[in-house]
A and B are shown apart, each in its own frame.
Chain A
Amino acid sequence: MLDFVSKRNWFFLVSGLFILAGIIALAVSGLNLGIEFRSGTTMTLIFEEPVDQAALRTALTDLGQPQAQIQHSSKDAFLVQGVAASPEERQKLLEALQAKFGTTTRIVTFGPAGNTTAGNTTAGNETLAIMLGTGVAESELSDAIAAAGYPGAAVSQKTLDSYLVRAGTISTDRKAQMQQALEPQFGPMNFLDFASISAGVAGERVRYNIYAMIAAAVGVLIYMIWAFRKLAGSFRYGVCAILALVHDILIMLAVFALFRIEIDSMFIIAILTVIGFGVNNIIVVFDRLRESKSLEGRVDLATRVNMGITETISRSINTSLTVLFACFALYAFGGSTIHSFMLALIVGIIASTYSSLFIAGQLLVAWDSGDIGRLFRWLPLRRRES
Chain B
Amino acid sequence: MTRRNLITLAVVAVLTALCLAAVLVQQFQVPVLGHKGANTTLGMSLGLDLSGGTHLVYQADLTQLQSGQDPTEAMQGAINVITRRVDAYGISEAVVQKQGSDRISVQLPGVRDVDAAVKLIGSTAQLEFKEQQLDGSGSPAVDANGKPLWVPATAVDSTGKTVPLTGQYLKPNAQVVIDQTTNEPRVAIQFNDEGAKLFEQITGRLIGKPLGIFLDTQMISAPTVKARIAGGNAVIENIKLSDARNLVVLLNAGALPVPLGEPIVREDIDPTLGADSIRKSLVAAVIGLALVIVFMVLYYRVPGVLASCALLIYGILMLGVFKLVPVTLTLAGIAGFILSIGMAVDANVLIFERMKEELRAGKTLAGAIEVGFVRAWPAIRDSNITTFISCVILYVIGSMLAEPRMMGFALTLGIGVALSMFSAITITRGFLRLFVGTNLETKLRLFGVDKPAQAPVNKEQK
Q: Which residues of A contact B (CB under 8 A)?
A: 1, 35, 87, 90-91, 94-95, 98-99, 102-106, 116-120, 171-172, 175-176, 192-198, 200-201, 204-205, 208-209, 211-212, 215-216, 219-220, 223-224, 227, 265-266, 268-270, 272-273, 275-277, 279-280, 283-284, 287, 290-292, 294-295, 307, 311-312, 314-315, 318-319, 321-323, 325-330, 332-335, 337-338, 341, 345
Contacts and interface: CB of A to CB of B under 8 A. Distances in A.
B360 to A, nearest CB: 12
A207 B231 CA distance: 57
A117 B245 CA distance: 11
Interface stretch (B18-26, B203-211, B268-276): B268-276
5 contacts: A103-B272, A265-B405, A287-B378, A290-B378, A319-B349
B236 to A, nearest CB: 16
A329 B245 contact: no
B390 A276 contact: yes
Nearest to A314: B353
B338 A295 contact: no
Interface residues of B, number: 88
Contacts of B118: 172
A197 B242 CA distance: 29
A interface, by DSSP: helix, strand, loop or mixed? helix
A103 B276 contact: yes
B390 A227 contact: no
Interface in B407-462: 409, 413, 456-458, 461
A196 B265 contact: yes
B385 A338 contact: no
Given A273-B413, A323-B339, A327-B288, 6 more contacts: A269-B332, A283-B382, A284-B379, A319-B346, A322-B292, A335-B273
A266 B245 CA distance: 39
Interface of B: 36-39, 57, 112-116, 118-119, 122, 240-242, 244-245, 262-270, 272-277, 279-281, 283-285, 287-289, 291-292, 295-296, 299, 331-332, 335-336, 338-339, 341-343, 345-346, 349-350, 353, 357, 375, 378-379, 382-383, 385-387, 389-390, 392-394, 397-398, 400-401, 403, 405-406, 409, 413, 456-458, 461
A94 B52 CA distance: 14
A272 B392 CA distance: 12
A322 B383 contact: no
A103 B283 contact: no
Given A325-B292, A335-B281, A205 B272 contact: no
B379 A287 contact: yes
Given A194-B114, A266-B332, A329 B386 contact: no
Given A212-B393, A277-B342, A283-B379, A330 B386 contact: no
B245 A118 contact: yes
Nearest 10 A-B pairs (CB), nearest first? Answer: A326-B288, A119-B241, A119-B242, A329-B288, A323-B342, A335-B280, A287-B379, A103-B275, A325-B291, A95-B37
A176 B382 contact: no
Contact of A334 (B272, B277, B350): B277
B347 to A, nearest CB: 9
B39 A322 contact: no
A315 B357 CA distance: 12
A292 B349 CA distance: 20
B398 to A, nearest CB: 7
Given A193-B268, A212-B393, A219-B390, A269 B335 contact: yes
A91 B112 contact: yes
B37 A338 contact: no
Contacts of A211: 397
B387 A196 contact: no
Contact of B296 (A106, A205, A215, A322): A322
Contacts of A295: 461
Given A212-B398, A291-B461, A323-B339, A197 B379 contact: no
A322 B343 contact: no
Nearest to B384: A280
A265 B49 CA distance: 12
A329 B277 CA distance: 13
A335 to B, nearest CB: 4
Contacts of A328: 288
